[in-house]
Amino acid sequence: MISARGLTKSFGDLVAVNNVSFTIRKGEITGILGPNGAGKTTTLRMLTCYLNPDAGDIEIGDYNVREHPLEVKKTIGYLPESAPLYPDMLVYDYLSYVSEVHGVTAEARIAEMGKLCGITEVMHKNISELSKGYKQRVGLAHAMIHDPEILILDEPTSGLDPNQIVEIRNLIREIGKKKTVILSTHILPEVEATCDRVIIIDRGSIVADDRTEILQKAHGKERRITVKISGADYAALSGALKDLQGVRDVFQVQDEHLTAAVVVVDGESEIRPGIFTMAGEKGWVLYEMKQEQMSLEHIFRQLTQGGSHGQI
């Protein structure tokens, strides 16, 4: 569906994107992540024909972005971080205007978008009267009004409250059943909950590209286990845990009622049976033993620490 090969883009002496290549298949929800200045925004702008690459090529569907930019733009729906809405227009009038620009028969399509995006009940309201969540929904309807095959969303939940975030997240998953979706965000749990696949960009280059669970397995060189007991102080618990084979480190966790520690374990070591046996032998009461999965946040920090800064 989308094929980028050897993309390079510089601004003066600064190389923002350096020989980036990736393929996104039809029907995938792909998250593009990176610290500020990593090059992800520049990459998205090249995908949407806003910027031309200095080198490399992009094909979207059957079209090359250099040779057929208008056809590519018809294939793509784009929602920037701040949806470019006209606040003085009614929602229905605004979507009708957008439909006419795209040459789409307005009435039936607006009704369909109203149902899909959950904005039917606000069609009669001025956009300026809407909450941020509803404005994002109107922006999504705008981006999809011409029924594009690809939807590119830049920070779609920025500034929303927790309930609105869940609503937009569910909406993106629903859209992803029929569309190819590219989601750029700095909210890592958002990616874990929404995306099928993750591309991480750092200092202009791709440093990871795979499904989330595969990245977690590949980079899971250590695991962390939270242990909470009663019957001993932290010094005794820490000493006993450090004696177990495979333990790399132990550090204290504050708990109002229990003695708590986090155990850092080598990736291949399984020490939970040993912790259970140890607690029983010492007469301690084991209240909690919880193993953390290697989170996307840990992987992101591993791969991008030391990245550059600035909006690129």
Summarised one tens digit per residue, pLDDT across range 155-193 is: 887 777 788 788 888 888 888 888 899 988 777 777 888
Q: Is residue 298 part of a domain?
A: no
Least confident range of 76-90, 119-133, 157-171? 157-171
Q: Is residue 61 part of a domain?
A: yes
Segment 106-121 mean pLDDT: 89
Question: How many domains does one find in the chain?
Answer: 2
Q: Is residue 157 part of a domain?
A: yes
Which pLDDT band, with edges at 50, 70 and 90, does 310 fall under? Answer: very low
Is residue 241 predicted with pLDDT exceeding 60?
Answer: yes
Is residue 221 predicted with pLDDT exceeding 70?
Answer: no
* Residues 187 and 57 occupy one common structural domain: yes
Segment 73-98 mean pLDDT: 90
* Residues 81 and 194 occupy one common structural domain: yes
> How are beta strands 197-202 and 55-60 bridged, if at all?
unpaired
Closest CA to 303 of 45, 33, 7: 33
* Residues 133 and 182 occupy one common structural domain: yes
Q: Is residue 304 part of a domain?
A: no
CA of residue 6 relative to chain centroid, distance: 23
Q: Do 138 and 89 meet the contact criterion of CB atoms below 8 Å apart?
A: no
Element (H, E) at 19: strand 14-24
Which pLDDT band, with edges at 50, 70 and 90, does 8 fall under? Answer: very high
* Residues 264 and 187 occupy one common structural domain: no
The residues, any chain, with a CB within 8 Å of residue 188's CB and separated by 6 or more, are: 33, 295, 296, 297, 300
Mean pLDDT of the chain: 87
Residue whose structure tokens are 């009614």: 90
Supply the pLDDT for residue 289: 94
Q: Do 227 and 286 meet the contact criterion of CB atoms below 8 Å apart?
A: yes
* Residues 243 and 113 occupy one common structural domain: no
Coil, strand or helix at 56: strand
Is residue 41 predicted with pLDDT exceeding 60?
Answer: yes
* Residues 229 and 201 occupy one common structural domain: no
Signed CA dihedral, 264, 266, 270, 273: sign only: negative
Which tokens sit at 6?
Answer: 């050897």
Closest CA to 99 of 147, 61, 51, 56: 147
Which pLDDT band, with edges at 50, 70 and 90, does 309 fall under? Answer: very low
Which pLDDT band, with edges at 50, 70 and 90, does 219 fall under? Answer: low
Whether the predicted model's global pTM rises above the 0.75 cut: no
Give the integer Cα–Cα distance in Å for 60 and 69: 10
Residue whose structure tokens are 């006209």: 86
Signed CA dihedral, 208, 225, 186, 184: sign only: positive
Q: Is residue 300 part of a domain?
A: no
pLDDT tens string 15-28? 999 999 999 988 88
Is residue 139 predicted with pLDDT exceeding 60?
Answer: yes
Q: Do 217 and 226 meet the contact criterion of CB atoms below 8 Å apart?
A: no
Least confident range of 79-93, 141-155, 186-200? 186-200
Q: Is residue 307 part of a domain?
A: no
* Residues 247 and 207 occupy one common structural domain: no
* Residues 204 and 59 occupy one common structural domain: yes
Coil, strand or helix at 59: strand
pLDDT tens string 229-239? 999 999 999 99
* Residues 51 and 153 occupy one common structural domain: yes
Give the integer Cα–Cα distance in Å for 152 and 44: 8
Supply the pLDDT for residue 294: 64
Owning domain of residue 242: 222-293
* Residues 31 and 177 occupy one common structural domain: yes
Q: Is residue 85 part of a domain?
A: yes
Which pLDDT band, with edges at 50, 70 and 90, does 312 fall under? Answer: very low
Coil, strand or helix at 10: strand
AA letter at 204: G
Signed CA dihedral, 136, 138, 140, 143: sign only: negative
CA of residue 286 relative to chain centroid, distance: 37
Supply the pLDDT for residue 216: 66
Q: How many residues does the chain have?
A: 312
What CATH code is carried by the domain that includes residue 60? 3.40.50.300
Please report the DSSP string for 244-284 in residue order. STTEEEEEEE--SSSEEEEEEEETT---HHHHHHHHHHHT-
Q: Is residue 308 part of a domain?
A: no
